[in-house]
Amino acid sequence: MTPRQSVETRTGSGTRTGSGSRWLLLALAVCLAVLSSAAGPVAADSETPHLWVFSRTDGFRHGSIEHSQQVISDLAASTGAFTVEFSEDTADLTADLLERTDAILFANTTGEHPFSEAQKTMFVDWLLDGGGFMGIHAAADTNYQWPEYQELVGAAFESHPHNGNQMGGLLLDRATVQVEDTTHPITAAWEGAETFQMREEYYRWRQNPRGTQDVHVLLSLDETSTYTGFGRLGAISPAYDDDQPLEWTKSFRGANRVWYTNLGHYDGTFDDARWQTHFVAALEWVTTSDG
């Protein structure tokens, strides 16, 4: 909003209040009223996407949640690419919220959230109407009793044999991430690289999401680069021996765009400049219509 300016024409120590000045003041008041109206809350049809971040935990709580909120808030302010609000209260999921929200992010949520059946139905209808969904890390470790949510994310947590704490902060705590689609706009942060190293807590899935629904895998784990401590005779043993997708895009019944990433356990993940660029690109992709 343009700062309000005091406009006065003075003669000596007095204030001039002739008819010309009164008309000028009236005109300025009208202009300011118009500017005030235009600078109100972001409208539902604004070109700037509005993101609602939900991080309620009814189970394990990740220590990185508060830090991730600060990083996402800073990204919104520094890039101007989106607006954002945060909540951990299920009561905040209302028709008014959905009306003004372009994408919803479940960020390290855990446990069974006490959404009412009416809220669940409203949320599913919003998804079917094109609302975008994003999930970070433990978004795949929550709401197991809500079938539509499980369908939405595309996979459910089973375990995390490689948790980034294998060797007390040494190089073996990191693992190799494979970029399966180097041309997708979401993976552009890695500038065409086919692999990169990251310390993370990597999930094993109850069911591999690859090949299910319309899942398109963006990142996967090089399982030979993972470790779960020391095996027989003191040999370091890999933590996985099968395919582990880490990040993918999909839709909810063909009606919207969905992005999920397993990356997001540690503060360091959110501090990574590549991850930040990648997150903004994911939000842009999720809120872009196919039509």
Higher pLDDT, 34 or 20: 20
Q: What is the mean pLDDT of residues 111-126?
A: 98
Q: What is the pLDDT of residue 22?
A: 38
Structure tokens at 79: 């890039």
Structure tokens at 212: 């299910």
Q: What is the mean pLDDT of residues 6-24?
A: 35
Q: What is the mean pLDDT of residues 24-39?
A: 36
Q: What is the pLDDT of residue 285?
A: 98
Q: What is the mean pLDDT of residues 150-178?
A: 87
Average pLDDT, the chain: 84
Q: What is the mean pLDDT of residues 124-150?
A: 98
Q: What is the pLDDT of residue 14?
A: 35
Please check whether residue 49 is in contact with residue 82, taking contact to mean a CB–CB distance below 8 angstroms. yes
Q: Is 37 left (phi over 0), alpha (psi -120 to 50) or beta?
A: alpha
Q: Does the pLDDT of residue 19 top 50, yes or no?
A: no
SS3 string of the chain?
CCCCCCCCCEECCEECCCHHHHHHHHHHHHHHHHHHHHCCCCCCCCCCCEEEEECCECCCCCCCHHHHHHHHHHHHHHHCCCEEEEECCHHHCCHHHHHCCCEEEEECCEECCCCCHHHHHHHHHHHHCCCEEEEEHHHHCECCCCHHHHHHHCCCEEEEEECCCCCCCCHHHEEEEEECCCCCHHHHHHCCCCEEEEECCEEEECCCCCCCCCCEEEEEECHHHCCCCECHHHCECCCCCCCCEEEEEECCCCCCCEEEECCCCCHHHHHCHHHHHHHHHHHHHHCCCCC
Find residue 176's DSSP bridge partners: 197
Q: What is the pLDDT of residue 205?
A: 97
Phi, psi torsion values for 51, nearest 5 degrees:
-115, 130
Q: What is the pLDDT of residue 172?
A: 73
pTM of the model: 0.82
CATH topology of domain 50-286: Rossmann fold (3.40.50)
Local confidence band at 17 (pLDDT 50, 70, 90 cut-offs)? very low
Local confidence band at 236 (pLDDT 50, 70, 90 cut-offs)? low
Q: What is the mean pLDDT of residues 197-215?
A: 96
pLDDT tens, position by position, 61-100: 999 999 999 999 999 999 999 999 999 999 999 999 999 9
Q: Does the pLDDT of residue 26 top 70, yes or no?
A: no
Q: What is the mean pLDDT of residues 249-275?
A: 98
Q: What is the mean pLDDT of residues 126-146?
A: 98
Phi, psi torsion values for 241, nearest 5 degrees:
-135, 20
Q: What is the pLDDT of residue 161?
A: 87
Find residue 196's DSSP bridge partners: 177
